[in-house]
Amino acid sequence: MSTTNYPSASPQGAPPKRDSKNLIIGLLAVGILGTWGYFLWDKNKSDQKITQLQTQYVAVDSSKNELQKSFDAALTRLDSLTGYNNELEGKVNDKTSEITKLKGQIGSILKKQRLSEGEKKKAQALIGELNDKIANLEQEVARLTAENQQLTTDKTQLTADKEKLTTDLQTTTQQKDELATKVDIASTLNASNITVTPVNEKKNGKESETTSAKKVDKLVIAMDVANRIAQSGSTDVYVCITGPDGQPVAVEALGSGKFTTREEGEKLFTAKVPVDFEAGKSKHVEFAWKQNSAFKQGNYKIEVYHNGFKIGEATRSLKKGGIFG
C-alpha cells in the first residue's frame, strides 16, 4: 500500500469551522455598523430638530423684539405728546386715559418670556389700536396747538390794543385833568366894588356909619362877584380880616376856621360866606362881621378868597374918634 503527502478529502456534508466563525464576525460587524449608523442618523435628526427649534425660537424672539420695538416707538411718540399735552392744561385727558389702559395691556403681554401666536396677534392688534389713538391724539394736539397759537396771537394783539388804549386813556385823562384844572381856575369868581363899612348900632335899632373904633359894632363887607363860565349853584367865599396888630381876626365860636389856598397854603379865615351864584350874571354879596370883642384903632385889612385864589382885597381904617363922612 502506497503513502502520500496530501491529506485525504473531507466528507462532502460538513462545513469548514473557520467559515462559520467568519460569518458570525461579519454579522456582528454588520450589526454594529447598523447600530452606529442608526445612532448617527438619529443624532443627525436630533440636530436637525434642535436647529429647527432654535430657528423657530429665534423667529419667535425676533417677532417679540419687533413687537417690543413697535411698542417702544409708540411710547416714544406718546411721551412727546404727553409732555406737550401737559402744556395744554389737560384738554385731552380722556384720550390719554384710554392710551394708558392700552399701554398696560401691551406691557403685560410683552413681559412674558415667550409668546403664543394668539398673544402675538393680540399684541399686534393692541399696538395698532395704540398707534391709532396716538395718531388721533397727535391731531388733537395739533388742533389745540393751532388754537393756542391763535389765542396767543389774539392775546398779543389785545395786549397791544390794551396798552394803546391805556396810553390813550392816560393821555386823554391827563388832557381832561389839565382842561378840568383850566376850567376850574377859569371858573373862579371875580370880585369887584369891595367896600368895608364900619357900623354903629344904636339902642333904638337905627344904624349909622362911624370911623370911631370904640363906636364900631360891626363891619359890613360888600362886593359884586361874577364869572362868565362858572356854573350856577351854591359856592363859598372866604373873608379873611387882619387886625391893626397884624394878627388874623378869627373866632371859632363865630364860625372862623382854616382853609387851603392855592398859593399860600393853609390860612385862617374870619368867615365863610355862602353865595348862590347864577351863571353869566353879577351877584351882589354882603356880609356883616360882628365880633365878641371891641374893635381896635388902626387899619383892618379885608381879603376875599374863592376856589383857593384871592379875588380881591380892601382896607378900612378905624380912628380914635370922629364920625365917618
How many Å apart are CA 188 and CA 309, to the nearest integer?
8
For residue 257, is it within any domain? Answer: yes
User: Are 102 and 221 in the same domain?
Assistant: no
Q: Among 120, 144, 168, identify where a domain stops.
A: 144
Backbone torsion region of residue 322, taken as left when φ is above 0, otherwise alpha when ψ lies between -120 and 50, otherwise beta? left
Q: What is the pLDDT of residue 83?
A: 55
C-alpha cell of residue 38: 442608526
- Listed in sequence order, the DSSP H helices in the chain are 17-87, 93-110, 117-186
User: Are 210 and 126 in the same domain?
Assistant: no
For residue 19, is it within any domain? Answer: no
Q: What is the pLDDT of residue 29?
A: 66
Report the Cα–Cα distance between both ends of the chain, in Å, rounded.
Answer: 229
- In whole angstroms, how far apart are CA 281 and each of 189, 195, 273? 11, 20, 18
Cβ neighbors of 41 (< 8 A, separation 6 or more) are none
Q: Among 81, 111, 144, identify where a domain stops.
A: 144
Q: Among 144, 166, 198, identify where a domain stops.
A: 144
User: Are 39 and 114 in the same domain?
Assistant: yes
Neighbour-count burial of 49, counting CB atoms closer than 10 A to its CB (0-12 exposed, 13-18 middle, 19+ buried): exposed
User: Are 195 and 302 in the same domain?
Assistant: yes
User: Are 313 and 194 in the same domain?
Assistant: yes
Q: What is the pLDDT of residue 22?
A: 66
Please give the tally of structural domains in the chain: 2
User: pLDDT, tens digit, for every residue of 107-147?
Assistant: 887 777 777 788 778 777 888 877 887 788 778 778 878 87
User: Are 308 and 199 in the same domain?
Assistant: yes
Write down the number of H helices and E strands in the chain: 3, 11
For residue 259, is it within any domain? Answer: yes
Show the low-confidence residues of the chain (pLDDT under 50). Answer: 1-11, 322-325
Q: Are strands 190-201 and 207-209 parallel, antiparallel or unpaired?
A: antiparallel
For residue 14, is it within any domain? Answer: no
Range of the domain at 266: 189-318
How many Å apart are CA 206 and CA 117, to the nearest integer?
132
Q: Which residues are paired to 266 by β-bridges?
A: 260
User: Are 209 and 297 in the same domain?
Assistant: yes
For residue 273, is it within any domain? Answer: yes
For residue 178, is it within any domain? Answer: no
For residue 156, is it within any domain? Answer: no
Q: What is the pLDDT of residue 4?
A: 44
Q: What is the pLDDT of residue 77?
A: 67
What is the three-class DSSP state of 246?
coil
For residue 92, is it within any domain? Answer: yes
Q: What is the pLDDT of residue 45?
A: 60
User: Are 250 and 303 in the same domain?
Assistant: yes
